[in-house]
Amino acid sequence: MTIAISCVVTFFLIAFIYTPFKSEILSMQTESRRLQLLETGLTNFEKIHGNVEDFAALIENRLVETRELIPAESLQDAFAAEIYKIADKNKILVDSIQIGDVENVETDNKNFFRQSVKIKVEGDYISTLNLIREILDGKRFVTVDDINLESAENVLSGDIELSIYHLTFSR
């Protein structure tokens, strides 16, 4: 009789308690394992990169620097203002800045737009070199296309031709 009762109780436990909750128990075990893996991953990440918030701030700063390097728009007026500011700092006379039309530049990964910039300058040798260096060392990606300078009485005068780049077309 006790064997029959124990068989009935076992059947009752399996049929009405374990089987209906079996999938939920497995789901909880799976979720627990996922949380353990996530915690291990975060711990390993913090060992390599330090604090997650500090790493996110570093990535954001790099993204801002990249946006400034090749901005989403031409920002040609801001670039011209920057040239005048650098020239004033280096005591160079900028007679004019001519910004050309936008040209499409295709690369393997992305389309960029290029604008030519022609600067008429007058100043001494060192100041002119400093002007070019500061433009190239600025936040923006700039290439020098041509330098055509003449010297007269320790004063250089002529043209510096540059290219500036951006991602979208705007005037």
Looking at residue 8, its pLDDT comes to 65
Q: What is the pLDDT of residue 68?
A: 65
Query: Percent of the chain having pLDDT more than 90?
Result: 27
**pLDDT bracket for residue 124 (50, 70, 90):** very high
- Per-position DSSP letters for 83-135, written without gaps between them: HHHHHHHTT-EEEEEEEEEEEEEE-SS-EEEEEEEEEEEEE-HHHHHHHHHHH
Average pLDDT over residues 46-53: 77
Is pLDDT at 23 greater than 80 in this prediction?
no
Percent of the chain's residues with pLDDT above 70: 78
Distance, in Å, from the CA atom of 139 to the CA atom of 148, rounded to the nearest integer, reads: 24
Q: What is the rounded average pLDDT of the residues 152-160?
A: 91
pTM score: 0.59
pLDDT-derived band at 11 (thresholds 50, 70, 90) equals low
Over the stretch 51-103, which tens digit does the pLDDT of each residue have?
A: 777 877 877 877 777 666 666 666 788 888 899 999 999 999 999 999 888 88
Task: Look at residue 171 in the predicted model and tell me its pLDDT.
Answer: 45
pLDDT score, position 46: 78
Whether the pLDDT of residue 7 is over 70: the answer is no
Please answer whether residues 144 and 161 qualify as being in contact, where contact means their C-beta atoms are separated by less than 8 angstroms. yes
Q: What is the mean pLDDT of residues 101-109?
A: 75
What's the confidence (pLDDT) of residue 33?
85
**Residue pair 71/131 in contact by the 8 Å Cβ criterion:** no
pLDDT tens per residue, range 90-102: 999 999 999 888 8
